[in-house]
Copies of this chain bind each other. A is one copy, B any other.
């Protein structure tokens, strides 16, 4: 399987991975969400080679995730700004950060805390069902083939591994905050 084929697979996950599924691209996007916009800024904060950076930026622009906007004329200079399509990657970024916060922190705790301006509190992102508002669990999701074909996307591990305490990290787990939204039916 080549990367071009990946983009054409009838699977939303494969297609997304074909676009943002490599380390540098993800890190560049992190910088974008950190409001970095310029070539030099990306290069110096990531330590990516200029060659690769140029290539990745081109790809992100081609894909409509970044826009290349002139910010000065004399020597033509551009900056790279997230489009709406790019901003829509935010849940992916937050999900990645949250997993890292849960499973990859050292004793010192998480590197960054997030505050929700709207409610003023430190929070964790929680993924819920758009229809009933309950938190999504893998085992409670069922997949159906959609109009776009072939069925490979993320479905539920129906017979979920029961995790018989096979010596994984024990401290890391279950720090996840339960959502306490105003008044959704209580999560089980």
Question: Chain A residues in contact with chain B, CB under 8 A?
Answer: 1, 3, 6, 10-19, 21-23, 26-27, 30, 32-35, 46-48, 64, 67, 69, 81-85, 87-106, 108-119, 121-134, 136-138, 140-161, 163, 166, 168-169, 172-173, 176-185
Q: How far is the CA of A77 from the CA of B148 in the complex (A)?
A: 37
Q: Closest CB-CB distance, A41 to chain B, in whole Å?
A: 13
Task: Select which of B99, B157, B160, B181 is within 8 A of A181 by beta carbon.
Answer: B181
Q: Closest CB-CB distance, A21 to chain B, in whole Å?
A: 5
Q: How far is the CA of A98 from the CA of B115 in the complex (A)?
A: 24
Determine whether the beta carbon of A100 is less than 8 Å from that of B154. no
Which chain B residues border A89 with CB–CB below 8 Å? 99
Tell me the number of copies of this protein. 2
Determine whether the beta carbon of A132 is less than 8 Å from that of B103. no
Which chain B residues border A132 with CB–CB below 8 Å? 116, 118-119, 121, 123, 181-182
Given contacts A64-B168, A149-B111, A157-B33, contact A103 B130 (CB under 8 A): no
Determine whether the beta carbon of A104 is less than 8 Å from that of B33. no
In the complex, given contacts A14-B27, A69-B166, A88-B102, what are 11 additional A-B residue pairs having Cβ atoms less than 8 angstroms apart?
A3-B23, A11-B30, A13-B30, A30-B154, A34-B152, A87-B163, A106-B148, A112-B143, A117-B140, A119-B131, A133-B180
Task: Select which of B108, B128, B173 is within 8 A of A149 by beta carbon.
Answer: B108
